[in-house]
Chain A
Amino acid sequence: MRLRVACAAVPALIGLVVAGAAAPLFWRGGSLNLAEAAALRDAGEAVRLIASGADPNATYPLRPGILAAESLTPLEAAVGARRAEMVELLMLHGAKVDLAGWRRLNCFAQKTGATDVVTTLDHFAPATARASCEGISTPF
């Protein structure tokens, strides 16, 4: 009988103690910069950072394992991560692209194969933009 009681109680006790006492550990994360937030689908953090004064057009370092680049702008990170909705969000919150920048992003998006990102970028294309990617270098 003791064995049965132990088999019923011990896993439950461990589960309850871990679920209870260790709960705050589940809520530990890390801070992200704007480019990392853009790459990691963190729209909430991206908007919060911009509202706190982060520059949506600056270049930020990326932690290893997020994207195959050491530093990117938030827009480049969003395109590299194939996040069309993030591109739109950044554009709505102050990100700017000139003709050269747009071509670079457009070619980058084409290279990643994300057609929805290409379509989203098209909405923000400068009037004189051309689709040719000849001679354009991309982040990766």
Chain B
Amino acid sequence: MPAPRLTVYACAAVLAAAVSYGLLRMPLQLHDAVEEIMAADRSPGVWASFTSTIGETAYFRPLRIAETKLLFDLSGGHYFAAYKTFHIALLVAAFALFVALLPIETWTDAAAALFALTVFAGLHTFLGLVREAFPINHFLQVAVLVLVAVHLSRARPRTAVDVAANIAFVLACLTLESGVLVWVAAVASRLAGRRGISDRGLVAMTALLAAYGVVRFMVLAPHVQAMANASGYFFERLEGPEIRARFGAGLSRFSVYNVLASIATVLFSEPRGGVFVFFRALSLAAVPPRMWINIVSSTLTTLLIGVAVSRRTERRGPFGSAVLIFAAVLVASAAASFAYAKDEIMSAAGVFYALVAFWAVRELLARNLHRAAAALVSVLLLVAGSGWAIRTIGVAHVLRTQAFTVRNDWAEIPEAMEKRGTWPTEPSTQQLVLRLRDGALRMPVVNPWFIPRWADRVFDGDYF
């Protein structure tokens, strides 16, 4: 293996190991996870779990429920180990699939790849892949399956590739609504000239998409209408009922806002969850360094991508393909955010943003530039790269902060569940929850008092 590629792979492995270490230091989540684990405990089997929520809730994610049950059964009582192992396996797959998409032969390629790696891990949408698990992180699972589809599109065309692509599509769609991004990425890859997934394979996938659309938006339509998540709108955060009261139940200017805000969050790290946090802070003359770091690194990188795209000589080729796939995934993810803006929904688009950043930086490094232009590009790369480096380092800070919050959530169990009326009646399920609680409380986490005050100002965190 060439030394440049080996260097990048080593860096990716070390970073993946560090994030995995953070995941292992974080207790299993309570909110949005313990109910799923309790359901897995009660369920008689994987198939029963798969079918249990179809038509019952606003969501259509039967595979996630089935996976939760499968891991529960396979764990042999070691629930933390089972769910964390699965999360880490997905994370490692995401890193491996991302780096494998980068052609690294020279040190110039390696420099662009290292830059892209920090964009991949430093972009705020990446946090949605690691900060939470329910107890499975379905956003990460979809991102991995979309990356698989892109790899398959580059493979030698054969029946096995078509079958694998369609399986990836089905798995993704049954995991999360964003799973349709597998189809989007496959079609965009085909339009970009990649023939790994044949036309026949794409037709089959399109037929599956149509079937999915009928089930999701016709059979389950009443539940879709019932979705009422909180979301941002310019400088404020609105609750579901507030959104309905102000904009009505159907498509409205709020839907258009969500789509545009979701595109902007990937390109500029602003708004966050639909809220323009940077400009809100600016209006209060209180912008913490982390907001400057986020917005400057993202805006400069988007600028560099824009320059590289506008100046590239060949319309097709790997750079053009990457841009086309990114644009398709970005627009499709944003369209899927029409009901509410949530950064996690944009996590797959964030992965492809990092991929495009690789090609753009590579192009700008390899091109012969005038001295002034070369100096300007150097400065922009240095500033943007430094920002991404800080953001990447900040992932550990976000995880340890989250670990503290999650452990404190468990401290209120069972009293909080009794108050909410969610405390199980079966003694065996009660014992299960208490075991999970005891396991969470035994885990040593870092109290924020031991963390330097500047860390909260420099590294990213929650905005709401």
- The reply to whether B18 and A8 contact each other, CB–CB distance below 8 Å, is no
B308 — which chain A residues lie within 8 A by C-beta? Answer: none
Map CB proximity to B onto A15-26 as digits: 1 under 8 Å, 0 otherwise: 111111101101
Complex Cα distance, B139 from A65, in Å, reads: 41
Q: A9-B115, A13-B114 are in contact. List 19 more A-B contacts (CB 8 A).
A: A1-B108, A3-B374, A4-B365, A8-B385, A9-B107, A9-B114, A9-B385, A11-B386, A12-B111, A12-B388, A23-B396, A26-B22, A26-B397, A28-B450, A37-B447, A44-B407, A44-B445, A47-B411, A89-B412
B377 — which chain A residues lie within 8 A by C-beta? Answer: 4
Q: Is the interface of A mostly helix, strand, loop or mixed?
A: helix
Q: In whole Å, how far is B386's beta carbon from the nearest beta carbon of chain A?
A: 4
- The reply to whether B396 and A26 contact each other, CB–CB distance below 8 Å, is yes
**Is B364 part of the contact surface with A, judged by Cβ < 8 Å?**
yes
- The reply to whether B365 and A18 contact each other, CB–CB distance below 8 Å, is no
Interface pick from B9-17, B153-161, B258-266, B333-341: B9-17
Q: In whole Å, how far is A26's beta carbon from the nearest beta carbon of chain B?
A: 4
- The reply to whether A48 and B442 contact each other, CB–CB distance below 8 Å, is yes
Question: 30 A-B Cβ contacts within 8 A?
Answer: A3-B374, A7-B381, A8-B112, A8-B365, A8-B381, A9-B385, A10-B382, A11-B385, A14-B389, A15-B385, A15-B388, A15-B390, A16-B392, A19-B15, A20-B14, A20-B15, A23-B19, A26-B22, A29-B446, A29-B447, A29-B450, A40-B447, A40-B449, A42-B404, A43-B412, A44-B407, A44-B410, A44-B411, A45-B407, A48-B441
- The reply to whether B449 and A4 contact each other, CB–CB distance below 8 Å, is no
Using CB atoms and an 8 Å cutoff, list the residues of chain B in contact with chain A: 11, 14-15, 17-19, 21-22, 25, 107-108, 110-112, 114-115, 117-118, 121-122, 361, 364-366, 374-375, 377-379, 381-382, 385-386, 388-390, 392-393, 395-397, 400, 404, 407-408, 410-412, 415, 438, 440-442, 444-450
Of all chain B residues, the one with the shortest Cβ separation from A3 is B378
- The reply to whether A42 and B14 contact each other, CB–CB distance below 8 Å, is no
Q: Is the interface of B mostly helix, strand, loop or mixed?
A: helix
A92 — which chain B residues lie within 8 A by C-beta? Answer: 415
Q: In whole Å, how far is A101's beta carbon from the nearest beta carbon of chain B?
A: 23
- The reply to whether B446 and A28 contact each other, CB–CB distance below 8 Å, is yes
**Is A41 part of the contact surface with B, judged by Cβ < 8 Å?**
yes
Knowing A20-B15, A40-B447 touch, does A12 contact B114 (C-beta < 8 A)? yes
**Is A72 part of the contact surface with B, judged by Cβ < 8 Å?**
no
Complex Cα distance, B25 from A23, in Å, reads: 11
Within 8 A of B (CB), among A24-52: 24, 26-30, 32, 37, 40-48, 51
A17 — which chain B residues lie within 8 A by C-beta? Answer: 11, 14
Q: In whole Å, how far is A16's beta carbon from the nearest beta carbon of chain B?
A: 5
A66 — which chain B residues lie within 8 A by C-beta? Answer: 449
**Is A127 part of the contact surface with B, judged by Cβ < 8 Å?**
no
B121 — which chain A residues lie within 8 A by C-beta? Answer: 19
B396 — which chain A residues lie within 8 A by C-beta? Answer: 19, 23, 26-27
Knowing A8-B381, A21-B14, A46-B411 touch, does A15 contact B118 (C-beta < 8 A)? yes
Between A11, A19, A37, the greatest number of chain B beta carbons within 10 A of the residue's beta carbon is seen for A19
B118 — which chain A residues lie within 8 A by C-beta? Answer: 11-12, 15-16
- The reply to whether B111 and A5 contact each other, CB–CB distance below 8 Å, is yes
Map CB proximity to B onto A93-132 as digits: 1 under 8 Å, 0 otherwise: 0000000000000000000000000000000000000000
B446 — which chain A residues lie within 8 A by C-beta? Answer: 26-29
- The reply to whether A23 and B441 contact each other, CB–CB distance below 8 Å, is no
Complex Cα distance, B440 from A5, in Å, reads: 45
Between A5, A24, A28, the greatest number of chain B beta carbons within 10 A of the residue's beta carbon is seen for A5
A4 — which chain B residues lie within 8 A by C-beta? Answer: 364-365, 374, 377-378, 381
Of all chain A residues, the one with the shortest Cβ separation from B449 is A40
Knowing A4-B377, A15-B118, A16-B392 touch, does A9 contact B449 (C-beta < 8 A)? no
- The reply to whether A20 and B447 contact each other, CB–CB distance below 8 Å, is no
Between A15, A16, A20, the greatest number of chain B beta carbons within 10 A of the residue's beta carbon is seen for A15
Complex Cα distance, B235 from A138, in Å, reads: 43
B25 — which chain A residues lie within 8 A by C-beta? Answer: 27
Of all chain A residues, the one with the shortest Cβ separation from B437 is A47
Complex Cα distance, B11 from A44, in Å, reads: 35
Complex Cα distance, B446 from A40, in Å, reads: 11
- The reply to whether B395 and A19 contact each other, CB–CB distance below 8 Å, is yes
Choice from B115, B364, B408, B444 contacting A12 with Cβ under 8 Å? B115
Knowing A8-B361, A14-B389, A15-B390 touch, does A24 contact B21 (C-beta < 8 A)? yes
A41 — which chain B residues lie within 8 A by C-beta? Answer: 408
A24 — which chain B residues lie within 8 A by C-beta? Answer: 21
B382 — which chain A residues lie within 8 A by C-beta? Answer: 7, 10-11
B361 — which chain A residues lie within 8 A by C-beta? Answer: 8
Of all chain B residues, the one with the shortest Cβ separation from A93 is B411
